[in-house]
Amino acid sequence: MAKTRSTNGGPVCPNGSPHSEAVEERTENKKRSRSQCPDQSPIKTRSPAKWRSPVGCTTNGDTCYGNGDSKISNGKPLCSPKSPRKRLSDQFSQRPKWNPRDPAQMQAVKEALHVATVPTNVACREDEQKRILEFCRTCIEQEKAGSLYVCGSPGTGKSLSVDKVKDLLAVWSKQVGFQSLDTLAINCTCLTDTSEIFSKILDKFHSRKKTSNGFSPLQHLQNLFSQKRQASSGKMMLIIVDEMDYLITKDCAVLHDLFMLTTFPFSRCILIGIANAIDLADRFLPKLESLNCKPVVITFRAYSKDQILKILQQRLMVLQFDVFQPLALEFCARKVAAASGDMRRALGVCRSAVEVLEAQLRDVARNQDIDIVMFDHMDIALSKAFKSAVVDTIQSLPQHQQIILCSLVKLFRQCKKNATTLGELNKSYSETCKFSQIPAVGTLEFTNMCKVLSDQGLLKLGQSREDKLKRVTLQIDSSDVTFAFKGIRFFQTCLV
Ligand SMILES: Nc1ncnc2c1ncn2[C@@H]1O[C@H](COP(=O)(O)OP(=O)(O)OP(=O)(O)O)[C@@H](O)[C@H]1O
Ligand SMILES: [Mg+2]
C-alpha cells in the first residue's frame, strides 16, 4: 500500500427518461453519501464509501445475514461449532499474533482496509489494465486520437485501474523516448454544469488568452483540432473523464461532442470516459458509429467471491500478523460478491468487523483477549451493512416509486400471496394514490418506474408479451419496506 488520494462531489444534470432517472437517482445517492459520510478516519479518503447496490440478503439462496444464533459469547473465543469453520480455523498460519489493543497496529489494519489506500498492484484487473494500456500506447505510437469507454458497476476498480494505467503510460513514454503526455483527469462530479468540461479541457491544453472571442470553449477546441498549424505543435493529450454518468443529458449532446473531439483531423486527444452505465455508450454509439469513430468499450465485471478474497488478502499482506480468521474473510467475500461485487463495500464491511472487535475489547465486563476477527464479528458487520443499504435505497427513491413499493407490500399482505401481476399492482397503486389524493402517473410511466425498481433489485419482473400480465415479486424483505417508512405518517396510512 503506498499512497492515499482524495476526490470531491458536484452537481448532476437533469434528464427526463426513466432510465436516466435511475442513473440520476443513483448519482444523487452518490452525492448524498459523499456529503453525508464524513470520514472519521485520520486517513484521507480518495472516494468515500458509496452504498448503492440495493440488493442485500436475497439475491441468492445461500445468504444468511443477521443469523441470530451467532452472538459474541462472553469471554470465549468466537467460533461456531460447525465443522467447516473449525477446519478452516485450524489452517491459521504461524505468523505473529495481532495485538488489537496496540493503537499503532490497529491503525495499520484500518489503513490497509481503507478505500483511499492505493495498492501497489491492482489485482484481478490485469487484463483490463493491459487493454487500456495497449490502446493508449497504439494511439501514442501512431500519433492518432482515439476514445475508450470504461464502464461497470460501482467499486469494480475502474478509477483505480485507469489511474494505474496513467502512471504506467508516463513511465513507458519516458522509457521509449516519446514526448511526455499532457494529462488531464476530470471528475465530473466537480463540474458546475456539464459543458464546463470543454472549458476545463481548453484551459489545460490551450491558453484561453490565445483564443479569439466569440467562440464557446467547445468551438475553440473544434477549431483547434481542425487546423494543422495549431494542433501540430501540441503533444498527445490524455483526457480521463471519470464519473461520466454526470454528463448524461436528455439528448446526450455533451457526451457526443466530447467523443467527437477525437474525430477531428488534427485531434491528438486520447479520451478515456469512465462511468457505471453499461448502456451509456449505446445512447451515443450509433451516431458515432455512423461517423466511424466508435469508442472502444471495456467493461469491468463485478468482482467474484474469489477475486474479492484475493484482493482482501493482498491488501492485508502488508501487515506482519493475521487479522481475520480465514473463514471470516471468505464469508465477507461471498456475501459481497452475491450482493454487488463492490470492492468498496467489501473493504467497508471488513473495517466494520474490526470495529465490532474493538467495541468488544472496550467492554470491560468482558475481560478477554481476542487477537483475530472471527466469523461472528464479520456476521454482525455484514448484517449492519446490508440491512442499512436496502433501507437507504428505499428511503432515497422518488415518491411514486415508494408508493409502488408500499402498494405491493400492502397487496401481498391483504391477499396473503407473494406474487402478483403488473396490472394488479397498477390497480393497487392507483387506489393508494386516490386514497392519498395524489395524482397517479399514467400506465406507461408506471411500467417504466417498475422497471427502474427492478433494475435496482427491489422487485422482479417476469416475462410476458403484455406488460400488464408480467409477474411481479418483491426482491427484498417486506419488513425492510415497512422499516424504511417507519414514522412517516403518509406511508403508514398507505401500508394499512
Ligand atoms: N483490484 C483491486 N485491488 C485493490 N483494491 C481495489 C481493487 N479494486 C477496487 N479496490 C478498492 O476499491 C476502491 C474502489 O475502486 P474504484 O474507485 O476503482 O471503483 P470504481 O469502479 O471506479 O467505482 P465507481 O463506479 O463507484 O466510481 C478503491 O479505492 C480501492 O481501494
Ligand atoms: Mg470510480
Nearest CA to ligand 1 atom 24: 154
**Average pLDDT estimate for 58-66:** 32
Residue 47 has pLDDT above 50, yes or no: no
pLDDT in tens, 142-172: 989 999 999 998 899 999 999 999 999 999 9
C-alpha angle with apex 100: 92 to 383, nearest 5 degrees? 75
Ligand 2 centroid–CA 332 distance in Å is 22
What local confidence, expressed as pLDDT, does residue 1 receive?
47
| CB 189 less than 6 A from any atom of ligand 1 | no
49 or 131, higher pLDDT: 131
Give the closest ligand to the alpha carbon of residue 50: 1
Spacing, Cα 196 to ligand 1 middle (Å): 26
Q: How much distance in Å is there from the Cα of 300 to the middle of ligand 2? A: 11
347 Cα: distance to centroid of ligand 1 (angstroms) = 10
pLDDT exceeds 60 at position 59 = no
Output the pLDDT for position 496: 62
Using most ligand atoms within 8 A of CB, pick from 159, 276, 298 the residue to mutate for ligand 1: 159
Q: Is 470 in the pocket of ligand 1 (CB under 6 A)?
A: no
Angstrom distance (rounded) from CA 10 to CA 189: 4
The pLDDT assigned to 386 comes to 82
Identity of the highest mean pLDDT range in 78-92, 340-354, 385-399: 340-354
Q: Spell out the residues 6+ positions from residue 95 whose beta carbon is closer than 8 angstroms to its own.
A: 320, 321, 322
Could you report the per-residue pLDDT of 301-338, keeping only the tens digit for each? 999 999 999 999 999 999 999 999 999 999 999 999 98
CA angle, 190 as apex, 184 and 196 as ends, to 5°? 70
Average pLDDT score, the chain:
79
Confidence of residue 46 (pLDDT cuts 50, 70, 90): very low
Q: State the pTM of this model.
A: 0.68
pLDDT reported for residue 114 = 97
**Least confident among 84-93, 117-126, 440-449:** 84-93
Q: Whose CA is nearest to atom 8 of ligand 1?
A: 157
Mutate to test the pocket of ligand 1, among 344, 347, 349 (most ligand atoms within 8 A of CB): 344
CB 27 less than 6 A from any atom of ligand 1? no
Residue nearest atom 16 in ligand 1 by C-alpha distance: 157
Residue 344 Cα distances to 108, 114, 277, angstroms: 18, 9, 18
Find which of 11-15, 44-48, 408-412 is predicted with most confidence, using mean pLDDT. Answer: 408-412
Q: Which domains does the chain have, with CATH numbers?
A: 37-117+304-394 (1.10.8.60), 126-300 (3.40.50.300), 398-495 (1.10.10.10)
Copy the grid coordinates of residue 375.
466469523
- Backbone phi, psi, residue 298, to 5°: -120, 120
- Given a cut of 80, is residue 466 above it in pLDDT? yes
Q: Residue 51's pLDDT band (boundaries 50, 70, 90)?
A: very low
More confident call, 365 vs 126: 126
**33 has pLDDT over 70:** no
Distance CA 147, CA 134 (A): 13
Going by alpha carbons, the residue nearest to atom 3 of ligand 1 is 122
**The predicted structure's pLDDT at residue 86:** 44
495 lines ligand 1 (CB under 6 A): no
Closest ligand (CA of 160): 1
Number of H helices, E strands in the chain: 19, 8
C-alpha cell, 79: 467460533
Q: What percent of the chain has pLDDT over 70?
A: 75
User: What pLDDT is stored for residue 423 in this prediction?
Assistant: 95
